[in-house]
Structure 1
Amino acid sequence: MNVFTPEIDRKPSKEEAAKALEVLRSFAEKALDYEIDALDPGIAALRDGGVPYPDLSRVYPTAFRADEAYRETLPDLQNGPSSLIKGENRLIQHVGISNFRLPIHYRTRDHGELTLETSVTGTVSLEADKKGINMSRIMRSFYAHAEKTFSFEVIEAALDDYKSDLESFDARIMMRLSFPVRRDSLRSGLSGYQYYDIALELVELDGVRRKILHLDYVYSSTCPCSLELSEHARRTRGQLATPHSQRSVARVSAVLANEGDCLWFEDLIGLCRKAVPTETQVMVKREDEQAFAELNAANPIFVEDAARLFAEQLQADPRIGDFRVLASHQESLHSHDAVSVLTEGTTFADDSLDPKLFSTLFHVG
């Protein structure tokens, strides 16, 4: 059914149009450009000295160059007044960019050098009364140091630069990479590359800086209870049985001590391999598979054991301060996983855990 509304459909009178025009002119004189653009860019023509909205070119101007004078005319909303802030005017602890990637040079413990794709996250604090930050400055600051071989001193210099550029108090840089190490098989003499997910984190909070190294270590865990039950079936009933074991992941996070020798990536990996030697294998022939079964039988562990074994190695290394161990045994017996969290010191002592924390420990091919 059609509904006819005379008040809406009738033509406004000249007097009504004049009053509406007066309101629009007042709005055009007082409103900011982005407010006008959001309503109708043509309203700008109602300003004093305004011109009719132009017929815009739809051809990309390849010859145009933005000189300094032109750049000075460009709007910069993120550096605008606090009146532009939307929502609660308060401090934001972290704001920045995540997962910009570039090749970074890394030294190895044996004095070699690798160039690896690295994902970088950079954030700063944003004070109340500041609208926002120019996020490209974080990338520009980091790129200024990207050609140098990695060290924490290099990323400290990058952090100093973008703290200064963005006039922030607190800041953070995280670099994620996959670090290759050649590993020998257990018995066949073959070898292949094991890749370790590593993250480097530099955090400055209230003037205090912490350097943190994160490592995901992937291993096999054989259930001690299942091993004993299998042996019981064999011994008492002559029944062949196999214990359950599963791919497991520990995320080890270590705050580096301010003094002392360098903790190389290979060093932290070595601590994990010493704590739990059943690391998953790269190259495997039949004799290696048999050896791995024997290695697992010699090192059965619950998830509680894993956390404490890793902690034992971390605690004993003077290059490491606070640390955290997250362990996930991705059960082949159960429909759920067995997990544990062990922390040392205040850095990682959170009362609350990210609801998705343990789901990030799955490593897929």
Structure 2
Amino acid sequence: MNSLNITPIPLPDIATSTSSGISTRLDWVGMAGLALQFRIQESQRGVLSMQGKADIHVDIVRPEVKGIHMSRLYLLLEQLAESTPLSPSSLSDFLWLQLETHQEISQAAGVSIQFPYLSRRPALKTDHSGWKEYPAAIHATFQDDLRIELELAIPYSSTCPCSASLSRQLLVEALDHAFAGRARLGVDEIRHWLLENGSLATPHSQRSWAKLKLELSESAEAFEFESIIETVEQALGTPVQTAVKREDEQAFARLNGDNLMFCEDAARRVSQCLAQRGDLRDFWIRIEHQESLHAHDAVAVVTAGVAGGYQPLLRR
């Protein structure tokens, strides 16, 4: 109770009450790395609960304005996360709300959320399964037009065709040396020799990554994480595993032997499968084979080739 009947002094708002001193527009102003609990609308699995980090921004188009109301953006993002699952349509609506909170000074808005997407993947042979983590992000931006994008990184195994060929040559040379001068060999004799010497040279394999940036079409109603993962893993043929018994590991070894590929091969496979999807407006693919032979990575990049779309040199 204010017994002295003193009128409270309004809190100062320095950001909007003073000039910037240097008059210039700013492309993006906001916050990055905000901890966030949220839900997404996934096309196959329904509504999923997630935890991640969010970035939220608007621009400043009036050069004389010093700053934005960051608290407005923060509270707006909290309200979105608590009230509705994220979908292409809810994010589109959210961008307009961002602009309304800064309608005097802003014409562009964006929000990005980075999170681990977990998918339960089956073993190759046994009835076991396990959770696999895929680094993921959702980006929604309005800057002249609306863009809803997904980022997804999909791990897989790659075995080098050149290394496999060199290994086979060494095996043949060892077989010739072991049985030099022998005109005939019995099946059991060859079988025994292979069990003892079949791994005298092995091709090099490595954990590899297909890193995707995908612009969704206007018709997208939910996020197709499961479908995209399934499509890409089928195209590559050797997804990394979760629960593995010996029969699963043997099946994985067979897959790698039957599925030799350079990074160029992987890039073409992923490009082909994504080009056949009707829910994507554009895509950017970066293939990384994190080699066990070299101390550097083998890399290939391919885009959809859309006019005005993703550029090959987009950095990751």
Whether TM exceeds 0.5 here: the answer is yes
Name the SS for the 1:283 alignment partner: coil
2:95 paired residue number: 159
Is 1:294 aligned to 2:254, yes or no? yes
Point out where structure 2 has 5 or more consecutive residues left out of the alignment: 176-196
Shift of residue 93, structure 1, vs aligned partner: 1.4
| Whole-angstrom CA distance in 1 between matches of 2:220 and 2:85 | 21
Spell out the pairing of 1:46-125 with structure 2 (5 A cutoff).
70=8, 73-82=10-19, 84-86=20-22, 89-125=23-59
CA displacement 1:235-290 (0-9 Å, x = unmatched) = 23337210001111111111111136655211111121121121111111221111
Match of 1:134 among 51, 60, 69: 69
**8 A Cα contact 2:160 2:205, kept in partner:** yes
Shift of residue 151, structure 1, vs aligned partner: 1.2
Which is further off, 156-165 or 341-350? 341-350
Shift of residue 97, structure 1, vs aligned partner: 0.7
2:139 paired residue number: 201
| Whole-angstrom CA distance in 2 between matches of 1:205 and 1:113 | 28
| Whole-angstrom CA distance in 2 between matches of 1:287 and 1:265 | 29
**8 A Cα contact 2:87 2:222, kept in partner:** no
2:192 paired residue number: none
Spell out the pairing of 1:23-42 with structure 2 (5 A cutoff).
none
| TM-score calculated relative to the size of structure 1 | 0.73
CA separation of 1:182/1:116 partners in 2, compared to 1, >3 Å: closer, same or farther?
same
CA displacement 1:103-133 (0-9 Å, x = unmatched) = 1123344454321113211111122222111
| Whole-angstrom CA distance in 1 between matches of 2:132 and 2:220 | 28
Is 1:267 aligned to 2:227, yes or no? yes
Match of 2:152 among 193, 198, 215: 215
1:51 paired residue number: none
CA separation of 1:270/1:111 partners in 2, compared to 1, >3 Å: closer, same or farther?
closer
| Whole-angstrom CA distance in 2 between matches of 1:175 and 1:256 | 16
Aligned residues: 283
| TM-score calculated relative to the size of structure 2 | 0.83
Match of 1:171 among 105, 109, 127: 109
Spell out the pairing of 1:316-327 with structure 2 (5 A cutoff).
316-327=276-287
CA separation of 1:124/1:322 partners in 2, compared to 1, >3 Å: closer, same or farther?
same
| Whole-angstrom CA distance in 1 between matches of 2:27 and 2:16 | 18
Name the SS for the 2:293 alignment partner: coil
Which is further off, 137-146 or 315-324? 137-146
| Whole-angstrom CA distance in 2 between matches of 1:338 and 1:110 | 34
| Whole-angstrom CA distance in 2 between matches of 1:317 and 1:113 | 23
Is 1:303 aligned to 2:263, yes or no? yes
| Whole-angstrom CA distance in 1 between matches of 2:253 and 2:229 | 22
Q: Kindly indicate which of the two structures has a greater share of residues assigned to strand.
A: 2
Q: Alpha carbon RMSD of aligned pairs, Å? A: 2.1
1:25 paired residue number: none
Supply the AA of the counterpart residue of 1:228.
S
| Whole-angstrom CA distance in 1 between matches of 2:287 and 2:71 | 37
Identity of aligned residues (%): 34
**8 A Cα contact 1:263 1:319, kept in partner:** no
Supply the AA of the counterpart residue of 1:204.
F
1:44 paired residue number: none
CA separation of 1:108/1:156 partners in 2, compared to 1, >3 Å: closer, same or farther?
closer
**8 A Cα contact 1:107 1:150, kept in partner:** yes
Supply the AA of the counterpart residue of 1:258.
E
**8 A Cα contact 1:103 1:116, kept in partner:** yes
User: Larger C-alpha radius of gyration, 1 or 2?
Assistant: 1
